[in-house]
Amino acid sequence: MLLKKCLCDGLSFNNSFEILKVDLLEDELKTVSQLFDQINDELNFQDRPSEEMISTYLKQIIIRATRHWKKQNLQTDELNLINAEQDFFRNFSRLVGIHYKE
């Protein structure tokens, strides 16, 4: 569920007609590379709880990529609008979950 939310808030649904590119700084590139190494380790471990660990690493990669893409491609007013829209839809989904029986 959290990975789905992360994907919806992340880069993958912002623009489905354009290949997105994120330029990472050297330290961030190192961090993302380490996350991919950890995913590879989990795949080789072949344990059922590995799925949750891999999901956690993927979420971190998506969040980091989204943050950098927003900094590189959006102006402050666009970023504020996107954040406000995301907050609105998160709150709406939360309220539907709470009050759906009513």
pLDDT in tens, 67-95: 888 787 777 666 666 667 777 877 888 88
Contact 69, 32 (CB under 8 A): no
Query: What would the pLDDT profile of 41-75 be if each residue is shown by its tens digit?
Result: 998 887 677 788 888 999 999 888 888 887 877 77
Other Cβ atoms less than 10 A from the Cβ of 16: the count is 7
Is 24 in a helix, a strand, or coil?
coil
Q: 1 or 36: whose pLDDT is higher? A: 36
Which phi-psi region, left, alpha or beta, contains residue 71 (left: φ > 0; alpha: ψ -120 to 50)? alpha
Token pair 């907050």: residue: 87
Token pair 């900094």: residue: 71
